[in-house]
Amino acid sequence: MRLAGFVAAAVVSLAGCTRSEIPGRYNEVEIVGNDYAFTAPASVPAGRTTFRFTNNGKVRHELNISRLKPGVSIDQLLTAVRADQTVQPLIEGPVGVLFAQPGETSQSSLSVDLAKGQKYAVICIFRDSAGAKRHYDLGMHSVIDVGAAQAVAPMPQLPTDTIIATDYAFQYPREVAPGRHTFVLRNEGKQRHELDFVLLKKGVTLKHLQEAEKSGGNVDSLFEGSFGLLHGRPGQEILGNLVIDMLPDREYVIACFFKDNDKSPEHYMLGMFGSIRTLDASHYDSTYERQQAQIQKAMGR
């Protein structure tokens, strides 16, 4: 399988691989996917919000969130998606995408600032086979309204890393401390780009991945899990951030699989890929404990 198949192939369990959730006083919303519908709140309070995704279905699903422009309905958005038309005139910007296998919860989350009066579209564009209907055509779509803010204690600032997309490369940190990170994507190119984030199996490197693809080897076997993606067109604000608990002494692959047109190569084939390594466990423990101490202090404990 080509490297471009790594997103679908890597959406596998990471159970036992991450630290327990850091407690918080910000808004946290869990959206549940079923076959074929979302269980999602009709409204959520304004403010900094973290979305997580749990798949209670028997097939894999995704949580794809975008902020609708005022007056735009979910039906208008789906009509454009079905016709393979650009949705840019219909949305203020994308938030991001999370993946989950059946019976599992996404191993990352999407963080976004919500303001009263906004509406967010939630859809799943997966399908169970090449000839099957897309999940949104089976009823897997929803809209979330943003209501008035609620009083909550502020969360401490955790590490934030900005990844810049250009035509055709990423500018990004090659090495980060383990622990919880918020990844921000900026598209400074002239083309639409995405940031796919995948964890390699322990001991596997980007070089091993490239060698396996070149030789026609089993690329799928080198991935441990997929964390989701961020995407956006040039000049379009990407509203969400991808929040990941980075494991110690591991390598994470980033890539863009968009194409400029039907005859163009995928962007990763033009050099739009890379990897981020995390430091060893001693850095992980100290970073995680420091984050926990900050959070406990912010919560008045």
Nearest to 245 by CA among 179, 198, 194: 179
Count the residues in the chain.
301
pLDDT at residue 151, rounded to an integer: 63
Full residue range of the structural domain in which residue 273 is found: 160-298
pLDDT at residue 56, rounded to an integer: 96
292 has a pLDDT exceeding 80:
no
Instruction: Give yes or no: residues 198 and 135 share one domain.
Output: no
Instruction: Give yes or no: residues 36 and 62 share one domain.
Output: yes
- Structural contact between residues 129 and 8, judged by C-beta atoms closer than 8 angstroms: no
Q: Two tokens at 171?
A: 């500018």
CATH no. for residue 199?
2.60.40.420
The structural domain count of the chain equals: 2
pLDDT at residue 235, rounded to an integer: 82
pLDDT at residue 49, rounded to an integer: 92
CA atoms within 13 A on the CB side of 63: 36
Instruction: Give yes or no: residues 232 and 169 share one domain.
Output: yes
Q: State which of 115, 147, 179 marks the end of a domain.
A: 147
pLDDT at residue 236, rounded to an integer: 83
pLDDT at residue 189, rounded to an integer: 95
277 has a pLDDT exceeding 50:
yes
Instruction: Give yes or no: residues 122 and 208 share one domain.
Output: no
Instruction: Give yes or no: residues 103 and 178 share one domain.
Output: no
Instruction: Give yes or no: residues 172 and 123 share one domain.
Output: no
- DSSP assignment of 61-86: EEEEEEEEPTT--HHHHHHHHHTT--
Worst-scoring range by mean pLDDT, 150-154, 237-241, 275-279, 282-286? 282-286
Total H helices, total E strands in the chain: 4, 18
pLDDT digits (tens, 9 = 90+) for 96-155: 999 999 999 998 999 999 989 999 999 999 999 998 999 999 999 999 999 987 766 565
Strand partners, 51: 29, 110
pLDDT at residue 173, rounded to an integer: 93
Measured CA to CA, the distance from residue 72 to residue 80 in angstroms comes to 12
Nearest to 163 by CA among 139, 187, 135: 187
Q: How confident is the model at residue 18 (pLDDT cuts 50, 70, 90)?
A: very low
45 alpha carbon, distance to own chain's centre: 22
Q: What is the mean pLDDT of residues 240-262?
A: 93
pLDDT at residue 301, rounded to an integer: 47
Mean of all residue pLDDT scores within the chain: 84
Model-level pTM? Answer: 0.81
Instruction: Give yes or no: residues 174 and 285 share one domain.
Output: yes
Q: Phi then psi for 101, rounded to 5 degrees?
A: -75, 165
> Looking at residue 79, what DSSP letter applies?
H
Q: What is the mean pLDDT of residues 18-41?
A: 74
pLDDT at residue 237, rounded to an integer: 84
Tell me, yes or no, whether 19 lies in a domain: no
Please give the biggest Cα pair distance in the chain: 58
pLDDT at residue 17, rounded to an integer: 34
Instruction: Give yes or no: residues 109 and 194 share one domain.
Output: no
pLDDT at residue 297, rounded to an integer: 53
pLDDT at residue 284, rounded to an integer: 52
Instruction: Give yes or no: residues 290 and 164 share one domain.
Output: yes
pLDDT at residue 157, rounded to an integer: 63
pLDDT digits (tens, 9 = 90+) for 138-193: 999 999 999 987 766 565 566 789 999 999 999 999 999 998 899 999 999 999 99
Q: How confident is the model at residue 217 (pLDDT cuts 50, 70, 90)?
A: confident
Instruction: Give yes or no: residues 100 and 204 share one domain.
Output: no
